Amino acid sequence: MRNFYGRRMGRRLSTAKQDLLQHTLSLIALDPNWVNTSTDIHCANIFLQPRPSTLLEVGFGQGEHLLDFINSHPQWNVVGAEPFINGTAAVLSQLEPQHLNNVRLWSDDINLLLPKFAAQQFDQISVLFPDPWPKLRHHKRRIIQTAFIEQCVRVLKPQGKFIVATDHHDYLQWMIPILKAQSHLAPQFNWNNLPQHKPYSWPTTTFEAKAIAQGRMCHYLSFHKI
């Protein structure tokens, strides 16, 4: 079921970025019609160059982590999901031509795509600084929900990693019981001492930078699928 309430468009895009969206995106976009037709999508079939490992990044924003991961993990393919079209344009404007073979982008709600994948397709799923939707009546819009986590677990390979970062105290408290209830996710940390450091290095993302600038504490929760 669709569960996306954020913005799809931001500031007016430059002609160069509009051009990228019109021409380059079609080369690497996952087909929106899959929502109605596909089942059991295998990562081996969606990339021109099959590789041993695949990352799914949900809500990549301006793409700081996505782009760095592509450059620093040559043995990985990457699926990025981001309905905010300015973010997709930002990624396309920095993507090296040789990487067009190993990146696929989904410009809609990830909740529509995840159920279409066959089980055990991804080696890592990252959700960095998801929208906190602080008002009580908007909590149902939060991406970290039991159904979403169950889908993530289903599409992760055994020993695959699930990583979520947040700077929002209330959202952190919201996600803890949801994540704890998932018996197939083994935390790589102590629940009594939630990590404030990244599980590996990546360039500060836009929302991570805002949190740091405003003095908010960031937490990085990393799990292995068992």
Ligand X SMILES: C[S@@+](CC[C@H](N)C(=O)[O-])C[C@H]1O[C@@H](n2cnc3c(N)ncnc32)[C@H](O)[C@@H]1O
Report the interface residues with ligand X, using CB under 6 A: 3-4, 6, 58-61, 81-84, 87, 109-111, 128-131, 143, 205-208
Which residue is nearest to ligand X, using beta carbons? Answer: 59
Closest C-alpha among 78, 81, 32 to residue 61: 81
- Extract the tokens encoding 99: 């990487």
Question: Which residues, at least 6 apart from 143, have a Cβ–Cβ distance to it below 8 Å?
Answer: 3, 58, 59, 110, 111, 127, 130, 131
Residue 225, strand partner residues: 185
Give the nearest distance from C-beta 226 to ligand X in angstroms: 26
Closest by alpha carbon to 163, among 207, 218, 126, 217? 126
Q: Which is nearer to ligand X, 207 or 223 (CB)?
A: 207
Identity of the amino acid at 139: H
CB of 62 to ligand X, least distance (A): 6
CA nearest 211: which of 87, 98, 142, 128? 128
Q: Where are the beta strands (DSSP E) in 107-199?
A: 122-128, 156-166, 185-187
Q: Which two tokens stand for residue 6?
A: 């954020």
Phi and psi of 152, rounded to 5°? -60, -45
As measured in angstroms, the least distance from the Cβ of 51 to ligand X is 23
Q: Using DSSP bridges, classify how beta strands 76-81 and 53-58 pair: parallel, antiparallel or unpaired.
A: parallel
Question: Which residues does the annotation mark as catalytic?
Answer: 131
Least distance (Å) from ligand X to the CB of residue 87?
6
Closest CB 160 distance from ligand X, rounded Å: 19
